Chains A and B, each alone.
Chain A
């Protein structure tokens, strides 16, 4: 409701402090929650400087402002190299399908102030294997059929938070290590053999007032894969 002063002053009458204070009190109420659209200049006048500037969190790499969250993290070359290993994801096969694990440092905690549309952009550059440990019971894939999977998740790592349709795999380098010098992988890492850069986008919506986590998780049939480079970037749109 627009402002209307409760007391009008007239010549020849006594000026009372309570009447002046009454007008001021009404003005205070109006300015705090009484301004309506008709009170504002109709033409566009809000400039960038009028909008509350976003705050940047150097730890998470995110800025948060009136439009939502923006920002991201990256491995910084090899500074934050990560690993995916079947020793952490159970036996890496069969009944251990639920044993997805977070890729360390690739997650964000979000405190959402509005209903939001969110995009999580992710990329990993992976060297998988070499893993030529013979297949055994509980670890049935042949060495040439082992894969390291990476997928984005929201909130939980189970099927409610992580969809296998978002998962992308990197093949094992199946030939093992040389036993004589020069030591190293017996076969080269190529885009078809143990090496891969995978990128994806996870789109999701969340309600205002929820705290949630999103990031990357992994499940693998390979004893060891190095995530030599990675990056995650977040767009959260309130408006």
Chain B
């Protein structure tokens, strides 16, 4: 008998020693308690002894430098050669701020790796970087005032996620799956990523440019360009990953590169984010502190 479902006693049944013994012995069977002996809603927290089953891992690491009032932030210059080399977030004393996992963080096909990060950043500008390279478009004047160059205000730094899945020496950093290294030739001499390879990218705006006193029908007459650099601001990002096989992660880090600008090599082609070196001399990215959260959830 694989379940305890003996029929109840009814009028006319004989009460024998054997029937009485059987009725109690039912409960002595190994492996006999199952769904037929359990009421709905019977399993509550006390019956669930496991810990770290659904959420086996969580870790928080610091990024950058703790400096709430921006007294002495870290500064990273835009790169003037392309394809550009990224910078690893650091604490202001040249120490990289990364996440490491003692003995490696193992994830299986049953897990989802969840990563969240944040950082406080600000643009530091000199000159008119918004008017160089890819950073502007030309509006054709229609009222005799001539053409007008207007910044797209799309100049940005990119921050993205890398990991080391080789060993604990942390010398084999690569982009996480779904993320490119911004060193692919897109076209026109510009290197970057097509958008489908920006799965772990955070965009950091650098400035806003707008026009005042623009006369209706003539984009240039009376125009006055107003500019605001992007002041201190919090930025954040996230990335989720389900591996097709068991793998071990030894480190995670956030890297940055700029100045970037949207680009499309050909009409109808794939949109991309590319490295624009023209404004590099007038742009730095300042940053202070942030957090890097690593969590693993079991999903099946």
Contacts and interface: CB of A to CB of B under 8 A. Distances in A.
B116 A165 contact: no
B268 interface: no
Contact of B20 (A9, A119, A171, A190): A9
A169 B34 CA distance: 55
Contact of B68 (A3, A119, A167): A167
B1 to A, nearest CB: 12
Contacts of B27: 3, 5, 27, 30-31
A9 B21 contact: yes
Interface in A3-20: 3-5, 8-11, 13, 15, 20
Interface string A109-138: 000011101010000000000000000000
A51 B47 CA distance: 10
A190 B28 contact: no
Could you say which of B25, B50, B58 has the most chain A C-beta atoms within 10 Å of its C-beta? Answer: B58
B16 to A, nearest CB: 7
Interface residues of A, number: 69
Interface in B202-239: 205, 207-208, 210, 226, 228-236, 238
A190 B208 CA distance: 7
A11 B34 contact: no
B30 to A, nearest CB: 5
A200 B21 contact: no
A2 interface: yes
Given A11-B17, A51-B43, A117-B55, A192 B28 contact: no
A211 interface: no
Contact of B43 (A50, A171, A172): A50
A172 B32 CA distance: 69
Interface residues of B, number: 67
A42 interface: yes
Contacts, number: 184
B43 A239 contact: no
Contacts of B245: none
Nearest to A23: B24
Contact of A168 (B29, B50, B226, B234): B234
Contacts of A191: 205, 208, 230, 233
Interface of B: 2, 15-18, 20-21, 24-25, 27-35, 38-45, 48, 50-55, 58-60, 62-64, 66, 68, 116, 118, 120, 123, 153, 205, 207-208, 210, 226, 228-236, 238, 289-291, 293, 295, 297
Given A97-B68, A198-B233, A200-B236, 20 more contacts: A3-B28, A15-B15, A31-B27, A39-B29, A41-B33, A50-B40, A50-B43, A147-B232, A164-B68, A165-B64, A165-B291, A167-B68, A169-B120, A169-B233, A188-B210, A191-B230, A192-B123, A198-B234, A200-B118, A239-B55
